[in-house]
Amino acid sequence: MLKRVEKAQQKWGGSHTVIDNWLNERQELIVLYCKIAGFSPYEKKDQSLPEPSQIQAFCQILMDYLSAGHFEVYDDIAKACEKKGLESQQLANTIYPRISDTTDIALDFNDKYAEVDAEDLLVGFDNDLSVMGEALEARFALEDELIDNLYSNHAD
């Protein structure tokens, strides 16, 4: 996931401030995901669950990222797709519902874990985190497809 965001930043960085900020937030989200999942270089020796503060930080940046996408970036992309033609508009109309599916998964994760504390048992956390990771991976691919279509194929 980090390699994907680095490629996205290289490819589209500097083209639009909102997208730059959003990709930076995506990178932060991925780093926090890797930390709570215990991926290298953040692996834990004792196989314990992450600290509640780490889970809460992840949930916060997740909600920030989703909000920026839905209320800033997607609006800009949708407007640009309308201007660029029917093909771009059709692609956006096909991709947005699939992105919404990943939003539902993220909102469910947030509802379940955003207010977690040290006493919570977190039954099913590993599975929920895995599902969240798969949803993020799918979401990033869809978002990148939209951005790539807009900037590569239809740039002014």
pLDDT, tens digit, for every residue of 15-45?
A: 667 788 888 899 999 999 999 998 877 767 6
**Structure confidence at residue 15 (pLDDT):** 64
Examine the pLDDT at 153 and tell me if it is beyond 60: no
Residues in the chain, total: 156
N- to C-terminal Cα distance for the chain?
A: 29
**What sign for the dihedral angle of Cα 33, 37, 38, 44?**
positive
Q: What element of type H or E holds 109?
A: helix 86-113
- Structurally, at CATH architecture level, domain 2-6+16-153 sits in Up-down Bundle (1.20)
Quick one: pLDDT at residue 156?
46
Q: How far is CA 124 from the centre of its chain?
A: 21
Mean pLDDT is highest, among 67-81, 92-106, 138-152, for: 92-106
**Alpha-carbon dihedral angle through residues 87, 92, 93, 97, given to the nearest 10 degrees:** 150
Predicted TM-score (pTM) of this structure: 0.85
What is d(CA 138, CA 154) in angstroms, rounded to the nearest whole number? 23
Cβ density class 38-73: b for 16+ within 10 Å, e for less? beeeeeeeeeebbebeebbbbbebbeebbebbeeeb
10 pLDDT tier (thresholds 50, 70, 90): low
* Nearest residue to 58 via CA among 125, 10, 121: 125
> In the predicted model, what is the mean pLDDT of residues 99-114?
97
Higher pLDDT, 39 or 108: 108
6 pLDDT more than 80: no
